[in-house]
Amino acid sequence: MKLSEFDLPQEYRARIQIAQYPVYPRDSSRMMVLHRATQEIEHRQFKDILDYFSEGDVIILNDARVFPAKLLGNKEKTGAHIEVFLLRELNKDSRLWDVVVDPARKIRVGNKLFFGKADGDNELVAEVVDNTTSRGRTIRFLFDGNDEEFEAAIDRLGLTPLPDYITREIEPEDRERYQTVFATRKGAVSAPESALHFTRDTLLRLELQGVERVFINLNIGRSFRDVEVEDLSKHKMDSESFEISPETARMVNEAKAAKKRVLAVGASVMRALESSVSASKTLNPGKGWTDRFIFPHYEFNIANAFLTNFQLPKSTSMMLSAAFADFPALMKAYKAAVDEGYRFCCYGDALLII
């Protein structure tokens, strides 16, 4: 398929509402329910998700925890303001990191970058050691403390890495807002957005209904970057690490065999599941890397239900949703979402496809 097929007509694009703040409580957000078999659409609230799951069903969540990956600093000598977005630690001992920088034209190999107050005891200094892409760099932090002290400095100086479509200033409250209530394993630079709707109360009520809850881990990086090629078969996703425990695989496979509902919560979960499928179409446990790009007409192997958010047209998340729901049905749902005033993106409303 072609990139342009995933755009919306201008009269719809102009009316997309990108949520700048989440609703409170989390489960009071709206939720569209799209039935794949009939293409019927329902308009509900997220807390109504309990109506669609019963005993023996399984919900698969990503337990990745977002860390404050956005650093604001200055370049040596000129003092020019720069922004560094930490993507992935390449070597813990050498403190080497894969990053994205802005403005890229001002940040060159050999430059030193300063973060925090110039006279502060815990100042962070980094040196640019390589170019990776037009905006990508490899940097080495020059830090003499131990790992715990280094992580504390990042936590103190870093900002919540909200996506660029959040146009307001980042606020201290975003550290909690842009984190799921069950996040545990730190390392993600983007939240599992569709899981932000869950409250502890919603999870408890699902548990009381006999719905099983299992976790995988995928530290979401820059998989949300724009697609820049018209031919989708030529788009390359960044690789991201994932881990699926034996217990998660066992419970998912048992539910699948019993023909229960298996819900993948978010694109990160779906990509991890589809990257660990056995020859017999069951879920394999283990660790690995995935750069899987899912778009129509992909055949899914594990989940038979999918929870996502309304994402921007032409995004990879939208394409995955179209593959799962059926392309015409998904485009119809997106137009309905605009007409009904659904809020888009990470702090926006949910789409449940069953």
Residue carrying the six token digits 């949520």: 19
What lies within 8 Å, CB to CB, of 153 at 6+ separation is: 116, 122, 124, 143, 145
166 Cβ contact partners less than 8 Å away, ≥ 6 residues apart: 18, 20, 345, 346, 347
The residue among 157, 161, 152 whose CA lies nearest residue 179 is 161
> What stretches in the chain show pLDDT beneath 70?
117-122, 222-225
Give the contacts of 296 (CB within 8 A, at least 6 positions apart).
1, 319, 322, 323, 326, 327
Q: For residue 318, give the nearest of 307, 304, 328, 330 by alpha carbon.
A: 330
Q: What's the angle, vertex CA 292, arms to CA 286 and CA 296, rounded to 5?
A: 130
Q: Which CATH number fits domain 3-66+175-353: 3.40.50.1860, 3.40.50.970, 3.40.640.10, 3.40.1780.10?
A: 3.40.1780.10
- Quote the CA–CA distance of 3 and 189 in Å, as a whole number: 25
Report DSSP letters for 189-219, one per residue. Answer: SS--GGGGG--HHHHHHHHHTT-EEEEEEE-
**Rounded (10°) angle between helices 327-339 and 316-325:** 120
The model's pTM: 0.92
Rounded to the nearest 10°, the torsion over CA 307, 312, 316, 317 is: -10
pLDDT, tens only, 201-230: 999 999 999 999 999 999 877 555 678 888
CB 275 within 8 A of CB 292: yes
Domain 70-157 CATH superfamily? QueA-like (2.40.10.240)
pLDDT reported for residue 256: 97
On whether the CB atoms of residues 263 and 59 are closer than 8 A, the answer is: yes
CB 1 within 8 A of CB 331: no
pLDDT for the residue 197 = 98
pLDDT of residue 241: 87
Measured N-to-C along each axis, helices 267-274 and 316-325 cross at an angle, to the nearest 10 degrees, of: 70
Residues spanned by CATH 2.40.10.240 within the chain?
70-157
What sign does the dihedral 145-189-61-275 (CA atoms) show?
negative
Cα-trace Rg, the chain: 21
311 touches 225 (CB < 8 A): no
Return the pLDDT at 117: 63
Where does CATH 3.40.1780.10 sit in the chain? 3-66+175-353
| 50: DSSP letter | G
Residues 264/270/273/276 CA torsion (nearest 10 deg): 170
DSSP 8-state secondary structure symbol assigned to residue 95: T
At 238 the pLDDT is 79
pLDDT, residue 225, reads 65
Look at residue 35 and give its three-state secondary structure: coil
Per-residue confidence (pLDDT) for residue 118, from 0 to 100: 52
